[in-house]
Amino acid sequence: MNVGLTTQILPASEAAVRAAARVLAQGGLVAFPTETVYGLGADATNPAAIARLYQAKGRPAFNPLIAHVGDLGAGMKIARFDETAIRLAEAFWPGPLTLVLPRTTDCAVADLATAGLETVAIRVPAHAVARKILRAFGGPVVAPSANLSGHVSPTSAAHVQSDLAGRIDLIVDGGPVEVGVESTIVGCFDQPMLLRPGGLPRGEIERVLGHPLLQPPEDAERGTAQPLAPGMLASHYAPRTPIRLDADRVEAGEALLAFGPDALPGAELAAAVMNLSARGDINEAAANLFGYLRALDARAARAIAVMPVPHHGLGEAINDRLRRAAVGRE
Ligand code: TXA
Ligand code: MG
């Protein structure tokens, strides 16, 4: 393990951007803010750097990484974009959308980063700090969420620090992120398929396409051991405390993750209460989700009771992450 590294933390600045580009070029690991969650970046063309990245996160190497690039032109060097992919890229990049596309024959992204798949996941982030780091580095940067594998994704530099200090070289602190859930992943196969609901609502994508996105079939139905979205294991986002969904009351010893203005019976006895959005704003709820899950997880409650969250807009991604969190890690 690379535990024992000194992890430098720099507030976002031109000097921090230069330091980040330097560390990446030397094969090091840099956590940086994107608009969705903090990413842990490595040079996408450097297998040794990518091996260190998997090790630092404790992530299984069969789970491929997203290559982050500065613009569509840079993306076209590593993947083949069909008409639909170009339409989606032009509509939503930079932004919280990842496209899974066939690799080009001379794709510079290391096989280790794509877990040997014929496809590569690409995203052009919108966050100013991420964009500056990509520009200063000048090549594709693979970046999973900057958390230990199996933990919830980090939405602040402090979250990154608590998971990865001593395991990575640098954290660039750009403050709390805006969106709060990871990018939406669309597989650009014969028909575009929603591989992961995320920070770009499905409805916006379907409006541009003019038709619904396909749902991934169950892996068993495809008759293959190779999952379409290998990272979407049920246990991916689990806090240590058990999660109880669709709570209509709070039981003794539980913490409460609330949504909206209504009070829940028993809430006055809760071990802790956090409200994702007291005014019922789904975007505010997404931005608060992972931070509040981390905070309530630290309260050693018997369970975290979660009020129902509406499914519209970013609600689909919120409910997806909550459902995975509720499955537990084992
Ligand atoms: O918002 C985000 O997407 C953040 C920021 C840092 O960009 N990144 C992120 O990365 O969430 P990660 O590694 O935590 O999740 C990436 C997901 C995984 O579920 C992985 O299996 C899937 O993307 N993925 C990557 N390459 C793929 C491919 N070629 N085919 C299918 N799924 C892929
Ligand atoms: Mg992740």
| pLDDT at residue number 5 | 86
State the first-to-last Cα distance of the chain, in angstroms, to the nearest integer. 23
The residue nearest atom 24 of ligand 1, judged by CA position, is 64
pLDDT (tens place) for every residue of the chain, 330 residues total: 456 789 999 999 999 999 999 999 999 999 999 999 999 999 999 999 999 999 999 998 889 999 999 999 999 999 999 999 999 999 999 999 999 999 999 999 999 999 999 999 999 999 999 999 999 999 999 999 999 998 999 999 999 999 999 999 999 999 999 999 999 999 999 999 999 999 999 999 999 999 999 998 765 555 554 556 665 655 567 788 999 999 999 999 999 999 999 999 999 999 999 999 999 999 999 999 999 999 999 998 999 999 999 999 999 999 999 999 998 654
Which ligand is the nearest neighbour of the Cα of 193? Answer: 1
Bond into 94 cis (ω within 30): yes
What is the 231 CA–ligand 2 centroid distance (Å)? 8
| pLDDT at residue number 231 | 58
| pLDDT at residue number 3 | 60
147 in contact with ligand 1, CB cutoff 6 A: no
What is the 223 CA–ligand 1 centroid distance (Å)? 23
What is the 262 CA–ligand 2 centroid distance (Å)? 32
Q: How far apart are CA 29 and CA 138, in angstroms?
A: 16
The residue written with tokens 């933390």 in the block is 9
| pLDDT at residue number 62 | 85
Please choose from 66, 119, 237 the residue to mutate so as to test ligand 1's pocket, defined by most ligand atoms within 8 A of CB. Answer: 66
Q: How far apart are CA 250 and CA 306, in angstroms?
A: 9
| pLDDT at residue number 330 | 44
33 in contact with ligand 1, CB cutoff 6 A: no
Which ligand is the nearest neighbour of the Cα of 98? Answer: 1
Q: How many residues does the chain have?
A: 330
